[in-house]
Amino acid sequence: MSRLDRTRTSAHQLRPFFSSQNLLNRADGSAQFDFGESSVMCSVVGPSEVKLRDEKLDKATIEVVVRPLVGLPGIKDKAREQAIRETLEPLVLSGLHPRTGIQIVVQTMKDDGCILATAFNATILALLDAGIPLKSILGAVTCIVDNNSNEILLDPTTEELANAKSTHTFVFDNKSSITSKEEQQESVDVATLYSDSTGLFSEEEYFECAQICYKAVQAVHGFIRTAVQKKLEKEYQQIHS
């Protein structure tokens, strides 16, 4: 079947990834991540000084600011800020930098659907670029259940999102899920770091979407590893050439 964006042929195919790191020279870490035509840039400054009233005695304070593509931030962006901050809290080893602040700014550069998932991926790349200690990395992906065909489509574009019966965004880390080989089937007990689903869907549809998104997120994790590896190789060459 051909998807609405005509470049993909399968329902479970992600759009081509693109990322670049260390783009901003004023920030401690920065990265841009693209899911096809959706692009989000993220900058990280930290660990740095934090206002007294936000100071935590035993941990670093994580602050997230989300800026939309056009206009001033609204409540949608506030909700995304809360989502990103709450998801990063258990991942960042903030106990290593008490009484400091880590400020993360997320800016949408191009919007073709799945901005939250793109933002999550850009944020983790930027945190890696900044050298903030993390327990694990994360990977995010969105899927929808199409209104007409009831099929699960991965990584929808804005056009596909308009025809969605339900939209699901999942974030998985790269260590909590346990893969077990039973008989001849490999089953995964998928461990969800962040999940946000709206629309009308059944319980079975939800857990099926989780499984499908988990498989897709493995590609995102692999991509993040490759991106960081390439960046480090380039830096090593620059230092030693």
Partner 1 sequence: MATPAFTFTPSTFQKLHPAEFFRRFTTEGVRPDGRLLDSFRPTTVHHGVISTANGSAMVRIGGTTVVCGVKAEVAEPRLDAPDQGYLVPNVELSPMCSSKFRPGPPSEQAQAVSEAINRVLKESKVLDLKDLCIEEGKAVWVLYVDAVCVAYDGNIYDAALAAIMAALNNGTIKVSGGTAANDENSFKLKLARTPLSATFAIFDTTLTILADPNVTEETISDGQISITLDETGLLCGVTKIGAASCSQRVLKDCVQSAKKRTLQLRGIMNQL
Partner 2 sequence: MAADRKRVAGPETSVAPLVEYPIDHQPWTPFTEKRHNSHRQPEDLRPIYLKTGLISEANGSAYIELEKTKLTCGVYGPRPIKRAGQGFSDRGTLNCEIKFATFSCVKRRGTMRDAQEKELSQILSQGLTPAVRLELFPKSNVDIYITVLESDGWGSCVAAAFTVASVALAHAGIEMLDLVAGCSASYVPTSIPSNSNSSSSSTTESSTGAGSTVTPQIFMDADLEEEKYQQGSIVLAYMPSLNQTTHVLQTGKAEGSIISQSVEHCVEACNKIFAVMNHALLESIDQKKL
Contacting positions for partner 1 (CB under 8 A): 75-76, 78-79, 81-83, 86-87, 89-90, 166-167, 172-173, 176-177, 189-203, 206-207, 210
Give the interface segment with partner 2, choosing from 73-81, 114-122, 148-156, 215-223 (CB under 8 A). Answer: 73-81
Binds 73: which of partner 2, partner 1, none (CB < 5-8 Å by kind):
partner 2
- SS3 string of 42-88? EEEEEEECCCHHHCCCCCCEEEEEEECCCCCCCHHHHHHHHHHHHHH
Site string for partner 2, 31-70 (x = CB under 8 A): ----------------------------------------
- Nearest to residue 32, comparing CAs of 208, 215, 23? 23
Residue 104: Cβ-neighbour burial (10 angstroms; 0-12, 13-18, 19+): buried
If the CB atoms of residues 73 and 95 are measured against partner 2, the closer one turns out to be: 73
**Among partner 1, partner 2, none, partner that 43 touches (CB below 5 to 8 angstroms by kind):** none
Phi-psi label, residue 27: left if phi above 0, alpha if psi -120 to 50, beta otherwise:
beta
Q: Which does 207 bind (CB under 5 to 8 A by kind): partner 1, partner 2, none?
A: partner 1
Instruction: Single out the segment in contact with partner 2 by CB under 8 A; choices: 72-80, 123-131, 169-177, 187-195.
Output: 72-80
By C-beta, is 1 or 75 nearer to partner 2? 75
Cα atoms found within 13 Å of the Cα of residue 22, Cβ hemisphere only: 9
| Minimum separation from the CB atom of position 81 to partner 2 (A) | 13
CA angle 156, 113, 81 (to 5 degrees): 125
Nearest alpha-carbon partner for 5 in 35, 42, 41: 35
Q: Is 1 in the site for partner 2 (CB under 8 A)?
A: no
Size of the site for partner 2 (CB under 8 A): 5
Does 75 bind partner 2 (CB under 8 A)? Our answer is yes
Which letter, b or e, does each residue of 171-188 get, where b requires 16 or more Cβ atoms within 10 Å of its Cβ? bbbbeebeeeeeeeeeee
Q: Give the whole-angstrom CA distance, residue 217 versus residue 120.
A: 12
Angle between helices 75-88 and 115-130 (to 10 degrees): 50
Q: What does 159 interact with, of partner 1, partner 2, none (CB < 5 to 8 A by kind)? A: none
Least CB distance to partner 1 at residue 214 (A): 10
Residues at the contact surface with partner 2, assessed by CB under 8 A: 72-75, 78
